[in-house]
Chain A
Amino acid sequence: MAQRKHVRWHIAVFLAPAVLVYTALMIVPLFGTLNLSLFNLDETKTRVFAGLANFATLFGDPRWSGAFWNALANNAWFFVVHMLVQNPVGILLAALLSSPRLRFSAFYRTAIFIPTILSFVIVGFVWKLILSPIWGIAPGMLDAVGLKSLFAPWLGKEEYALTTLALISVWQFVGIPMMLIYAALLSIPDEVIEAAEMDGVTGWSQFWKIKLPLILPSIGIISILTFVGNFNAFDLIYVAQGALAGPNFATDILGTFLYRTFFGFQLQLGDPHMGATIATAMFGIILVGVCFYLFAIQTRLRRYQF
């Protein structure tokens, strides 16, 4: 065989459209942001290379770092609420929906999924109205069951506002884990289920011992999607509480902190350099989280071949 293996151009040609679009829309802006975070303005308002000085300000200056850690802690709590409420409830709903004895399951599935396709603006507005102490139906409904004393202006109280917003977000997005798990549950072959039944594993014990291990990879994917989504969240907080993320920054997450810094707010002028610094920090946090999942968790998940 004297003839050498010729270059396989078609691979490059077929990859080119995706690579070009992805590079133009994702990679170039990403590196642009990383680059921007290394610059700042000097006394004469000209842009100079600042090295890591912006990061030193962000983590070293008590005001900047106070705001940053507050936003990060709030963001972490936002994520924890999603992991503790949204995903277990999603799995539970999927398990119920996949039960063959359930009637109207298509209706329930659609009804639970619909909030996912609503705009944040609508969700934020509707929930603000529902929970409003003045016009809302929440005080009235609690009153009807004699629990009026439990009502508080949740969105206006520092101790409840973030949890309330996280639960609103859960309400909106619970359809996504439900659908993914539902699909995973449907893909479990009947033979496996039948074999379990032959061995006397039925009901809840069947769910825990047979189905749950089989859908673990899907749960992993959902967790990482939740993580990335939550740490990039911005819309709901902005719509419901504004860019100052009141009350007293109790609902400030990384997204709103970035927005205020980058674009400015009211008399505060935008600062693209510090904004890019925060964006870079967010990118780093998400990168670490995703890497942790990919290398520490996903490689240990056992997969089953049918």
Chain B
Amino acid sequence: MKKTMRFALLASTVLASAAQAEDVTLTIESWRNDDLSIWQDTIIPAFEAANPGIKVVFAPSAPAEYNAVLNSKLDAGSAGDLITCRPFDASLELYNKGQLADLSGLASMANFSDVAKSAWQTDDGAATFCVPMASVIHGFIFNADAFAELGIEVPKTEAEFFAALDKIKADGTYIPMAMGTNDQWEAATMGYQNIGPNYWKGEEGRKALIAGTQKLTDEAWVAPYRQLAKWKDYLGDGFEAQTYPDSQNLFTLGRAAIYPAGSWEISGFNAQAGFKMGAFPPPVPAVGDDCYISDHTDIALGMNAKTAHPDAAKVFLDWVGSPEFATLYANALPGFFSLNSTPVEMEDPLAKEFVGWRETCKPTIRSTYQILSRGTPNLENETWNASANVIKGTETPEDAAKRLQDGLASWYAPQK
């Protein structure tokens, strides 16, 4: 009896492992640990139902450590089959080292425009190595109840924007704007890169900077810093030590009226805030000016060149490039807007508002991301520091711009 039992056990183990061997398991590396449940409950089941035999595991790490962790894993050969791609140089470097596979031949690549793919291509555009997933749009989210209570109209120009802030401040019920400088990146990303495109005219200025025909000390690039310097008076007490989660909580608890935002906040804010929210694009300098928005290509998915299951990984990537995935993803994560050429019908009103600006304003990507952050000092990191300093008032807009320009000119030939 005992012997049969043992034999049965042994047989079942062998059989079980044989059955498992038929299934290919793909692991996804990602920094989006906030999205774990969406991948597990919505996206992966949809894929697995359509593709029996391929199992997918979503294995994210903390956003701040992602790049360091991923690089170590790739060097050690222990990284997952699918790699979530940061835009531009971080991923380009991985491709150049032979750690990301060339995906130019993938059928679903035809679903994306050149602009959408630009963040994950070689400089000459010959090879594309990640399937674009989503972009994020900057703007301002406001407490609509507070605006109604104080009788404030949604500001369209800079003058109206500061008039609204003055009115909120004079009333005193709400902190006019929820932002802190402790974590620095908010000042640069939600501050400088948010309002800046209106001054440097989006793609026009960004490309001129790369070509070397404009400088960071030009008026178009200093003007956003002059605006930021004025924000100081409208931030909460002790904003110098206010962190990013502090700002989010201040806004969702209804203590602040305006939140300089990225669209990725939408799903979190919908869950947390107990009041009506609205959004407006960065105000233009004067009535009638063209408006520009930052519609930043932010996230894509690539394939580990050393994966043991390249065919299964390509099946998954092809699906990620399909309109079906775009609809699933964009609606599961309102605020991460699909880059797919097929328009996605959004259900969330706030997300609809953000994505609607694509029709009225000209989109651009963040100015520091392409090419300009390749050297030392790193322009993006310096911009964080400069923006935080300007808001705190410890550096003048002109000094900050000069420091950035000197740093860029020290290694970037077209700016010398």
> Which A positions have Cβ atoms within 8 angstroms of B?
45, 63-64, 128, 131-135, 152-158, 241-244, 246-249, 263-271
Which of chain A's residues has its CB closest to B369's CB? Answer: A267
Pick out which of these stretches binds chain A: B13-21, B225-233, B379-387. Answer: B379-387
B181 touches A247 (CB 8 A): yes
* CB-contact partner of B388 in A133, A243, A247, A263, under 8 A: A247
- Choose one: B240, B379, B380, B385; the contact of A156 (CB below 8 Å): B240
Please name all residues of chain B whose beta carbon is closer than 8 Å to the beta carbon of A45 when the two chains form the complex: 96
User: What residues on B are CB-neighbors of A247 within 8 Å?
Assistant: 181-182, 184, 240, 388, 392
Closest to A62 in B: B410
B217 at the interface (CB under 8 A from A): no
| Inter-chain contact total with CB atoms closer than 8 Å | 110
CB distance from B381 to the nearest CB of A (A): 5
- Further 9 A-B residue pairs, CB within 8 A, beyond A153-B237, A265-B378: A134-B236, A153-B240, A156-B239, A244-B184, A249-B385, A266-B378, A268-B373, A268-B376, A271-B376
B interface vs A, CB < 8 Å?
64, 67-68, 71, 88-90, 93, 96, 180-185, 236-243, 246, 249-250, 368-369, 373, 376-381, 384-385, 388-389, 392, 394, 407, 410
Name B407's closest neighbour in chain A (CB-CB): A63
Pairwise interchain contact A134-B369, C-beta atoms closer than 8 A? no
Do residues B93 and A267 form an inter-chain contact, with CB atoms below 8 A?
no
Q: Which residue of B lies closest to A264 (CB)?
A: B67
CA distance A64 to B71 in the complex (A): 24
Collect the chain B residues with CB atoms within 8 Å of residue A64's CB: 376
Taking a contact as CB atoms under 8 Å apart, the answer to whether A266 and B380 are in contact is yes
Is A128 a contact of B243 with CB atoms below 8 Å?
yes
Whether A158 and B183, one on each chain, are in contact in the complex, defined by CB atoms closer than 8 angstroms, is no
Tell me how far the C-beta of B404 lies from the nearest C-beta in chain A, rounded to whole angstroms: 13
Considering the chains assembled together, what is the distance between the CA atoms of A267 and B236 in angstroms?
30
Structural contact, B388 and A267, CB atoms closer than 8 A: no
Instruction: Say how far A124's CB is from chain B's closest CB, in angstroms.
Output: 12
Closest to A243 in B: B64
Known contacts being A158-B394, A248-B394, A267-B89, is A131 close to B381, with CB within 8 Å? no
**18 A–B contacts from the bound complex (CB under 8 Å):** A132-B246, A133-B236, A133-B237, A133-B241, A134-B237, A154-B241, A156-B180, A156-B182, A242-B183, A247-B392, A249-B385, A263-B67, A265-B67, A265-B378, A267-B89, A267-B381, A268-B378, A270-B68
Q: Give chain B nearest CB distance to A132 CB in angstroms.
A: 7
Give chain A residues whose Cβ lies under 8 Å from the Cβ of B377: 63
* CB pair A266 B243 closer than 8 Å: no
CA distance A64 to B376 in the complex (A): 9
Task: Please tell me if the beta carbons of A134 and B389 are within 8 angstroms of each other in the complex.
Answer: no
Contacts of B369 in A (CB 8 A): 267
Which of chain B's residues has its CB closest to A249's CB? Answer: B385
Measured CA separation A243–B183 after assembly (Å):
10
Residue on B nearest A238 in the bound complex, by CB: B64
Q: Contact between A270 and B240 (Cβ–Cβ < 8 Å)?
A: no
Give the chain B neighbours of A132 by CB distance below 8 A: 238, 241-242, 246
Q: Quick check: B373 and A156 within 8 Å, CB to CB? A: no
CB distance from B387 to the nearest CB of A (A): 11
Bound complex: CA of A45 vs CA of B96, how far in Å?
10
Question: A304 CA to B30 CA in the complex, in Å?
Answer: 61
Report B-chain residues with C-beta under 8 Å of the C-beta of A271: 376
Q: Evaluate contact between A248 and B237: CB separation under 8 angstroms.
A: no
Cα of A202 to Cα of B379 in the assembled complex, Å: 65
- In angstroms, Cα B242 to Cα A247, docked, is 11
Give, as a whole number of angstroms, the nearest-CB distance from A295 to chain B.
38
CB closest residue in chain A, given B383: A267
* Closest Cβ neighbor of B384 among chain A residues: A244
Residue in contact with B368 in the complex, picked from A157, A267, A270, CB distance below 8 Å = A267
Contact B389 A265 (CB under 8 A): no
Minimum distance in angstroms from B339 CB to a CB of chain A: 20
Q: Which residue of B lies closest to A133 (CB)?
A: B238
Residue on A nearest B385 in the bound complex, by CB: A248
Complex Cα gap A244–B184 (Å): 8
Interchain CB contact under 8 A, A134 and B384: no
Of A153, A241, A266, which contacts B239 at CB under 8 A? A153
Note all chain A residues with C-beta closer than 8 A to B239: 133, 153, 156
Inside 8 A of A269's CB, which chain B residues have their CB? 89-90, 93
Which residues of chain A have C-beta atoms less than 8 A from B64's C-beta?
242-243
Q: Quick one: which of B96, B250, B380, B385 contacts A134, CB cutoff 8 A?
A: B250
| A63 to B376 Cα, complex, angstroms | 9
A268 in contact with B93 given A63-B410, A134-B246 (CB within 8 Å): no
Q: Of residues B67, B93, B380, which shows the largest number of chain A Cβ atoms within 10 Å of its Cβ?
A: B67
- Residues of B within 8 Å of A242, CB to CB, are 64, 183-184
Shortest B147–chain A CB gap in Å is 22
Q: What residue in chain B is nearest A270 (Cβ atoms)? A: B71
Residues on the B chain within 8 Å of A63, using CB: 376-377, 407, 410
B68 and A263 contacting across the interface, CB-CB below 8 Å:
yes
Specify which chain A residues have a CB less than 8 angstroms from the CB of B241 in the assembled complex: 131-133, 153-157
CB closest residue in chain B, given A244: B184
Closest CB in chain A relative to B187 CB, distance in Å: 10
Contact indicator B67/A134 (Cβ below 8 Å): no
Across the interface, do A244 and B385 meet the contact criterion of CB distance under 8 Å?
A: yes
| Interchain nearest-CB distance for B338 vs A (Å) | 24
Q: Is the CB of B384 within 8 A of A156?
A: no
User: Once the chains are docked, how many angstroms separate the CA of A306 from the CA of B283?
Assistant: 80
A156 partner residues in chain B, CB cutoff 8 A: 180-182, 238-242
The answer to whether B68 touches A155 (Cβ under 8 A) is no
Cβ 8 A contact of B182, one of A243, A246, A263: A246
Q: Which residue of chain B has its CB nearest to the CB of A151?
A: B238
How far does the alpha carbon of A157 sit from the alpha carbon of B242 in the complex, in Å? 11
Task: Name the residue of chain A whose CB is nearest to the CB of B188.
Answer: A266
Bound state CA distance, A64 and B249, in angstroms?
A: 38
Distance in angstroms from B306 CB to nearest chain A CB is 19
B89 contact set on A, CB distance < 8 A: 267, 269
